[in-house]
Amino acid sequence: MTFKATVTVRRRPTILDPEGKAVEHALQSLELRGVARLRIGKLIELHVDAADADAARATVDEACRKLLANPVMDDYTIALEEAGA
Partner 1 sequence: MAAHRFGVVVFPGSNCDHDAYHAVKHVMGQDVRFLWHKESDLGGADAIILPGGFSYGDYLRCGAIARFSPIMKEVVRFANAGGHVMGVCNGFQILCEAGLLPGALLRNASLRFVCREVHLRAENTDTAFSNALTAGQVLTIPVAHGEGNYYTDRSALEELEARRQVVFRYCSADGALTPESNPNGSLNNIAGIVNRAGNVFGMMPHPERSMETLLGSDDGIGVFQSVIQALSRRETASVEV
Q: Which residues bind partner 1 (CB under 8 A)?
A: 11, 15-16, 18-19, 22, 67-68, 70, 72-73
Taking the least distance from each CB to partner 1, the nearer of 6 and 53 is 6
CB of 83 to partner 1, least distance (A): 23
Would you list the DSSP string of the chain? -EEEEEEEEEE-TTS--HHHHHHHHHHHHTT-TT-------EEEEEEEE-SSHHHHHHHHHHHIIIIIS-TTTEEEEEEEEEPP-
Taking the least distance from each CB to partner 1, the nearer of 47 and 71 is 71
CB of 73 to partner 1, least distance (A): 5
